[in-house]
Amino acid sequence: MEAGPSGTQASPVTRSVAGPARHPATVANVTAEQTHAPRLTSLSPGAGCACKLPLAKLEQLFAGLQGAPAMGPAAGDLLVGAAEGDDAAVLRLDDERALVLTTDFFTPIVDDPGDWGRIAAANALSDVYAMGGRPLFAVNLAAWPGEGLDLAILGQVLRGGAEVAAQAGCFVAGGHTIDDPVPKYGLAVTGLADPARLMTIDRATPGDQLILTKAIGTGVVATALKHGQAPEDVITAAVASMTLLNAGASQAALQAGVIAATDVTGFGLLGHLHRMLAASQTAARIHAASVPLLPGAAELAAAGFISGGTRANTERMRGFAAVDPAVPAEVAVLLHDAQTSGGLLLAAPPAGAPALLDALRAQGLPAALIGDIVAGASGHVDVYPARSE
């Protein structure tokens, strides 16, 4: 439900992560006279969750909305609301049932319309899983050029989204579409959860073990793809990760007694961890060598395929993330990389962490123990090269 960083501008010749990109992206002109469909990723200056507004701007926006009607802290049956800044809103129906509500949509992250639909749907559904819920039904959210881009392509996007929703046991019941020169697609999702077994971002405690359920690197892959520089096998691996539902990971976490979790999307691994730590008044240690990376991601980061969203994440985390100079530069980039449909970041009780890790890996997930929660300055993350024995 939370928004994320914006912009996808990169140069394949620079490895710097500081400062804004210098050249503006432009939206391609699509005319009815074109004899073939354009690359979807050419139609937007951003891609996937990297097209969202930066965290720093959102924090400023919501600070100005304090006291606005109906946007105050959760109270009564509203268990999680806007003020909590969690992955989804939660409304208690009774002692055993709570509704989980979220929405997410973004511009094309890949050129295959069906894959874009599948990725966007999996990404939207992930917020429900991050809260410990299961999706019930959803409605489509779509923006499409009224002229010049075949409506049949939108049909392929919607079909892809419906396929993933069906995998989740989630009905797609209509939706809303507007005329827009930049295509966008996603879902508004309603789920159901046990109010006594919610996973939220504000309950991480010192000693908890941090487990990440998917590899990171989708942002650099998407940026390289947009520039026509991503190898096909790297794209295939990234799409497979982004279309994989977090349903099994969520169930395993609930069974292990996890009560603090989030999903890793536009703010990057360190950004989403920071939000969890700030809400929980704790700090964390991360071991960079333990963080799973998508195939080819490190090489693309080293080549300079860094999105504007990732640059914004890096700026936002200055003063909150202390990255050891021994951490490779490309890995440091990936720790801030703006993800789309990433995995769950779980703060697991230490006694149950080994069994949870085994259960996740038994599902075929590249789950890894990447660090731990510690007492310290609220929201601070220390990143070390590797775990010391």
**CATH number of domain containing 150:** 3.30.1330.10
pLDDT band at 34 (very low <50, low <70, confident <90, very high): very low
pLDDT at position 284 is: 98
Would you say residue 117 has pLDDT above 90?
A: yes
pLDDT for 109 equals 95
What pLDDT shows up at residue 264?
Answer: 97
Residue 118 lies in a domain: yes
Q: Which of 170, 197, 224 is the last residue of a domain?
A: 197
**Judgement on whether residues 190 and 55 belong to the same structural domain of the protein:** yes
Domain identity same for 244 and 183:
no
47 and 186, same structural domain?
yes
User: Which three-class secondary structure string do you get for the chain?
Assistant: CCCCCCCCCCCCCCCCCCCCCCCCCCCCCCCCCCCCCCCHHHHCCCCHHHHCCCHHHHHHHHHCCCCCCCCCCCCCCEEECHHHCCCCEEEECCCCCEEEEEEEEECCCCCCHHHHHHHHHHHHHHHHHHCCCEEEEEEEEEEECCCCCCHHHHHHHHHHHHHHHHHCCCEEEEEEEEECCCCEEEEEEEEEECHHHCCECCCCCCCCEEEECCCECHHHHHHHHHCCCCCHHHHHHHHHHHCCCCHHHHHHHHHCCCCEEEECCCCHHHHHHHHHHHHHCCEEEEEHHHCCECCCHHHHHHCCCCCHHHHHHHHHCCCCEEECCCCCHHHHHHHHCCCCCCCEEEEECCCCHHHHHHHHHHCCCCCEEEEEEECCCCCCEEEECCCCC
Q: Is the pLDDT of residue 15 over 80?
A: no
- Domain boundary pick from 130, 164, 197: 197
189 and 227 inside one domain: no
Residues spanned by the domain of 369: 209-384
In this structure, is residue 26 part of a structural domain?
A: no
165 compared with 47, residue with greater pLDDT: 165
Residues 250, 124, single domain; the answer is no
176 and 224, same domain (yes or no)? no
In a domain? residue 90 = yes
What does the pLDDT read at residue 324? 98
| pLDDT range class, residue 84, cuts 50, 70, 90 | confident
Q: Does pLDDT of 52 surpass 70?
A: no
Mean pLDDT value across residues 164-181: 96
Work out the average pLDDT over 204-210.
Answer: 98
Q: Give tens-digit pLDDT for 299-321.
A: 999 999 999 999 999 999 999 99
pLDDT tens-place string over residues 231-270: 999 999 999 999 999 999 999 999 999 999 999 999 999 9
Task: Say if residue 374's pLDDT is above 70.
Answer: yes
pLDDT at 16 over 80: no
Asked whether residue 9 is assigned to any structural domain, the reply reads no
What confidence tier does 85 reach under pLDDT thresholds 50, 70, 90? Answer: confident
Q: Evaluate whether residue 297 is within a structural domain.
A: yes
Same-domain status, 185 and 276: no
How does pLDDT run across 146-161, given as a tens digit for each residue? 998 999 999 999 999 9
Average of per-residue pLDDT values in the chain: 88
Do 162 and 216 sit in the same domain of this protein?
A: no
Question: Any idea which residues carry the catalytic annotation?
Answer: 49
Kindly report, residue by residue over 324-345, the tens digit of the pLDDT: 999 999 999 999 999 999 999 9
Is residue 123 located within the same domain as residue 217?
no
Q: Global pTM?
A: 0.87
Residue 326, pLDDT score: 98
Q: Which of 197, 232, 266 is the last residue of a domain?
A: 197
**Whether residues 187 and 290 fall in one domain:** no
Q: Is residue 301 part of a domain?
A: yes
User: For position 231, what pLDDT does the model report?
Assistant: 97
Q: Both 302 and 238 in a single domain?
A: yes
In a domain, 138, yes or no: yes
We report the CATH number of the domain holding residue 213 as 3.90.650.10
Query: How many separate domains does the chain show?
Result: 2
Residue 35 domain-assigned (yes or no): no
Q: Say if residue 134 is in the same domain as residue 255.
A: no
